[in-house]
Chain A
Amino acid sequence: MDQFIAWISQPWPWYVAGPMIGLTVPALLILGNKSFGISSSLRHACAACIPAGIPFFTYDWKKEMWNIMFVLGVLIGGALAGFLLSNPNEVVVAESTQAALRELGITEFGSLMPSEIFNWSNLFTLKGLFFFVIGGFLVGFGTRYAGGCTSGHAIMGISNLQLPSVIATIAFMLGGFTMTHLLLPYIMRIVGL
C-alpha cells in the first residue's frame, strides 16, 4: 500500500495524462451526449446569477447543470490530488525557463505556482491586479468570444476535425507567445518583483 501511495504520488508523465484527458471526450459523449467543454461553465454561472436580461445569458441554464457538476468535480479532484496524493518533492522546472523567469524576478520554483505571485497578500497590489484580475478577465472574455477554450476547441473541436477549432487553437498559442515574450517583461517591471 505504501508503495502504491509512493508511486501514485509521483508526477504523472504526459503520455499517461494526455490520453486520459482525451478519453474524457468519448466518456462524456457516451455518458450523456455531452460535448466536452469547460469555459461554458462560466457562461452558465452568469446565466444563473446575473443574467440581467442580456440575451446571451437568457437560456435554461438548469439544462446545463451537468457542466457545473463537472467543474465542481474538477475542483474536488484538485483538492483530493493536492492534499492526499501530493508530490512530496519539488516541482521540476526546465533550466532555461527558470533562467528566463529569474531574469523577470521570480526566485521560487518549488511549488506548482510561483508563491511570490499567487498568494492572498498580493490581492490589492499591482501583482494581484495583473495576475488575478486582468488575467482572469482576459481568460473569461477571450474564451467566450472565441466560443471555447483549450478543452472545447483544442481537444473537443480538433478531435472532431473542426477547422475553426484549429484556427482558435493557433490564436490561443499566438496570444500566449505574445504575452510570454513581449508583454510579460514589461508587466513584471511594473508590478515590481
Chain B
Amino acid sequence: MTVKLKAIEKSGSTPVQCEAPNMQKADKKDGLLKYLIVGVLFGIIFVKAEIISWFRIQEMFRLDSFFMYGVIGSAILVGIISIQAIKRFDIKTISGERIQIGNKEFRKGQVIGGFIFGLGWAITGACPGPLFAQIGSGFTVVAVTLLSAVAGTWVYGRFADKLPN
C-alpha cells in the first residue's frame, strides 16, 4: 500500500480517493511480470542446454568442446542482427518509445575486473546468470556462492574510488 501511495505521489496530483486501485495494481504487476517471464524462459534454456554445468565451463576453458563457443557465438550473432534491425527499421518498444542503448566507454576495470571475474568463472563454473539457475535447479549450496558474489560487489562499491579505473 505504501509503495502504491508513493507511486501516486511521484506521478503527480492524482487524488488518492479517486484512484482505481485494482487496475493500477494490475498494471504495475503486469509491467514487471513480463521480465519475470523472460527470465523464466532464460533459466529453462540455461538448464536444458546444460550451460549451468561446471563441466561445460571446464570444457570451454580446456578447449575440449565447441559447445559454449557455439552458444555464446550464435547468441552474439543473433544479438548483432537484432540490434542492427532495431536501428535500421527504427523499431519501437511496445509502449512506443524509441529504443536507446548506451555506449560503453573503455576503462582499465574492464581488463583488471574482467580478468578477476574470469578467475571466479572457472572456479564456480558460473557467471552471474547461471548462479541463479544453478540454485533453482537444486544445487542450493550455490546460494552461498551468490551471497559471496553480492559481498564481492559490495566490496568493489566500497573501494571503487581507490581502484585503478
Contacts and interface: CB of A to CB of B under 8 A. Distances in A.
Interface of A: 8, 11-35, 38-39, 41-43, 45-46, 50, 52, 54, 56-57, 65-67, 69-83, 85-87, 91, 93-97, 100-101, 109, 112-114, 117-120, 122-123, 128, 130-151, 153-165, 167-181, 183-184, 187
26 contacts: A8-B48, A11-B49, A14-B71, A17-B48, A22-B82, A23-B78, A23-B82, A27-B38, A31-B93, A38-B127, A69-B39, A78-B134, A81-B44, A81-B46, A82-B138, A97-B62, A100-B64, A114-B54, A118-B54, A133-B148, A139-B117, A139-B120, A168-B111, A179-B118, A179-B122, A181-B61
A74 B133 contact: yes
Chain B interface, >50% SS class = helix
Interface in B96-117: 97, 99-107, 109-117
A26 B46 CA distance: 18
A12 to B, nearest CB: 4
A149 B127 CA distance: 7
B106 A74 contact: no
B45 A12 contact: yes
A184 B123 contact: yes
Given A141-B156, A142-B119, 20 more contacts: A11-B50, A19-B75, A38-B132, A69-B39, A73-B36, A77-B39, A77-B45, A81-B47, A114-B54, A139-B121, A146-B113, A160-B101, A165-B104, A170-B114, A171-B115, A175-B121, A176-B118, A176-B122, A178-B119, A178-B122
Interface in B40-83: 40-55, 57-62, 64-68, 70-80, 82-83
Closest 3 CB pairs of A and B: A175-B118, A73-B39, A77-B43
Contacts of B95: 32
Contact of B149 (A33, A136, A153, A184): A136
Contacts of A145: 109, 112-114, 116-117, 156, 163, 165
B123 A77 contact: no
A3 B40 CA distance: 23
Interface residues of B, number: 117
Contact of A77 (B41, B60, B75, B154): B41
